[in-house]
Amino acid sequence: MSAGRVRRSAAPPGLAVNLRVVLLSLGLAACSSGPSPYTIAAAGPWQLTSGRNTRLGIALAAKEINDAGGINGHPLIVREADDQADGARAAAVAQQLADDPAIAAVVGHVTSAAMVAAARIYDGRLAAVATAASAPELSGISRWAFRIIASDSVTGAAMAKFAAQTGHRRAAILYENDSHGRGLADAFRRSFPGEIVNTDPIAADGRHAEIFVSWLRQGQPDLVFVAGLEASGVALLTEAKRQGVRADFMGGAGWTPLAQHADVAEGAYVGAPFTSADRRPSAQRFVTAFKAANRGLEPDGNAALGYDATKLLAAALGAVGEDRARIRDWLAGLTSDFAGVTGPIRFLPTGDPAGGGIIMTRVRRDGMLGLADGTP
């Protein structure tokens, strides 16, 4: 279909990927009299901690929107699609969403490999605002693809600078062998002024962690930089604790969920897009609302990114309505910052955020990400 105004219809039958329709409202429903609902999609790996927390942030944003009367009176509906953090499945999800005329825009995807695959399908058809997909490969991949997290090329350099400023001189680099892992590791390697003692790929599921950690004991770096996600991080930190490795460990936004594994991750540095320790009033209002909606659960960076992406698309819908091309143009044409809880949001021609970056945190014993010493 064209990128113009969407037409109302049910999703085509017989599709391989199921969509779950979520009415995120206490006082509004799609079948009520009055303005028809606006529908967006949310795509992510709901079985992973990063996906589940993103989903909670999306849900909170949509609830707040609907509780406040919707978008110019239109209830907001979110259709969820699980991409399982897999490129092939993400492409199938993207095809389904692009083909469905009821979908005005997409929050997602969450992981880099999924977003890289999906962006090519969305191109020219459907605007998508990625949350935690940070691979440099995404920069400029499509005029219809945006992200609110900084590229790994930016965050890797920032973490390398922080590592040097905090006195680290010898670093080992371990990375998951995908677009995110390679990009983040390369950015750190190029920017770290000290000695790189080794650079090795690791399995995403943490297999053979014992071998890598045994080498770390022999090589004695003072910092281990890991460009990976939760599973490999937990495996490495568990084994490092068992073997008594004394080096500091550091990871990027993919390590945000490690706060939930404080028994092994306490003290690990995490370059996070958000922390509940952020003292800004807008951040604290979000933290309070999120905890109230989720039985006291602390929001992480994934939750905050999902929240911001949903609020941003709601603002686009409020400004230009459901027309897909106009939504894309509104996002690309932002001249003043949209106020997000992760910080101000505006986009470069590449679809990357114009500002932003990371907050250096450390995993605390109580399962929170606290500000790291040396963080501005």
Structural domains in the chain? Answer: 20-150+280-345 (3.40.50.2300), 152-272+360-371 (3.40.50.2300)
Contact 146, 128 (CB under 8 A): yes
pLDDT at residue number 102: 98
Q: What's the confidence (pLDDT) of residue 64? A: 98
Q: What does pLDDT average to in each consecutive run of 10 residues of the chain (376 residues)? A: 38 43 44 82 96 98 98 98 97 98 98 96 98 96 97 96 98 96 97 98 96 95 97 98 97 94 97 94 97 96 97 98 98 96 96 90 94 78
What pTM does this model have?
0.89
Are residues 205 and 235 in contact, defined by beta-carbon separation less than 8 angstroms?
A: yes
CB 313 within 8 A of CB 265: no
Q: Give me the amino acid identity at 154.
A: V
How many angstroms separate the CA atoms of 242 and 239, rounded?
5
- What was the pLDDT predicted at 21? 57
Dihedral class, residue 250 (left if φ above 0, else alpha if ψ from -120 to 50, else beta) = beta
CB 354 within 8 A of CB 263: no
Contact at 8 Å (CB) between 328 and 144? yes
